[in-house]
Amino acid sequence: MKIGFIGLGNMGAPMARNLAKAGHEVTGYDMAEVQVPGVGLAHTSAAAAEGADVVITMLPNGEILRAVAAQILPVMTSGAVHLDCSTVDVDSARAVAELAHSHGVQAMDAPVSGGTGGADAGTLTFMAGGAVEAFAKVAPLFEIMGQKAVHCGGSGNGQAAKICNNMILGVTMIATCEAFALADKLGLDRQAMFDVVSTSSGYSWSMNAYCPAPGVGPHSPADNGYQPGFAAALMLKDLRLSQLAAASAGAETPMGAAAEELYTAFVEEEGQGAKDFSAMLPRFAERNG
């Protein structure tokens, strides 16, 4: 396919590189000066999109996505697919899809899970929202960039799946960190805590696969000084998106709101946004003395 790729940052660059390596003709654009092996560079986002079968965007937020969409959709070929892999608010995803349809372009929102490591290795998971026909057209690209793609329904549902998943992740990580900090105060050894909870009703991905206690369970960022696999600032972004969606839909999410409040304090007041989101454990442990 002829592919335009807009947003060649830490995630976009390796995704574009993998597509080019697989034999696709990829033309990229980024506001920063970048070089990506196998990827030609355009001077504008519209130039990268013109004549492409699929245009992929990987952008920081919904406002920028809307602005870029307004530039690229008018020049895209009728029947082409705009595949947005950014993590943005549901309302922006659906507004961009409506704009795409008005230009005769198919739209698919497909945020990813797997981080920069998954982007580099081509093992991302895609949560896709949009028409079945659009999903079928881009499915071969998902196979190159990732290991799994789930069609979640209509436009915006990919974003909905991503933020619901990450709201659960944020809430369960806080609960896991609180429990370890409480165990410390009660004199319960962390390894014993892990051995019990990881095989009992309290088990979760946060405990079993990404344990926030150093030296306990499988290797995780806690064992590397909380250098991020998933930065706290990114968790805060996703929690804020979940609360925007909850407000828009009129949904009650008190645990999600509490998690957003805690990560806001952690990132903005305490300056810990560059640490892994599991660094909530030393925060609670220090506050507990």
Kindly state the greatest CA–CA separation across the chain: 65
Catalytic residue among 2, 21, 137, 162: 162
Give SS3 for 133. Answer: helix
Domains and CATH numbers, the chain: 2-154 (3.40.50.720), 160-287 (1.10.1040.10)
- Residue 5 phi/psi, 5° resolution? -130, 115
Full DSSP string of 44-64: SHHHHHTT-SEEEE--SSHHH
Query: How high is the pLDDT of residue 94?
Result: 97
pLDDT of residue 249: 94
Average pLDDT per run of 10 along the chain, which is 289 residues long? Answer: 97 97 98 95 97 97 97 98 97 97 98 91 97 97 98 97 96 98 97 98 96 97 95 96 95 98 98 97 93
- Catalytic, 162? Answer yes
Residues 131-175 have pLDDT tens digits of 999 999 999 999 999 999 999 999 999 999 999 999 999 999 999
For residue 110, the model assigns a pLDDT of: 98
The pLDDT tens digits of the residues spanning 102-125 come to 999 999 999 999 888 899 999 999
**Mean of per-residue pLDDT scores for the chain:** 97
Which long-range contacts link 117-123 to residues 24+ away (Cβ below 8 Å)? Answer: 117/229, 118/146, 119/10, 119/11, 119/12, 119/14, 119/15, 119/145, 120/14, 122/18, 122/146, 122/147, 123/147
**How much is the pLDDT for 115?**
85
Nearest partner of 246 among 237, 259, 257, judged by Cα: 257
pLDDT score for 1: 96
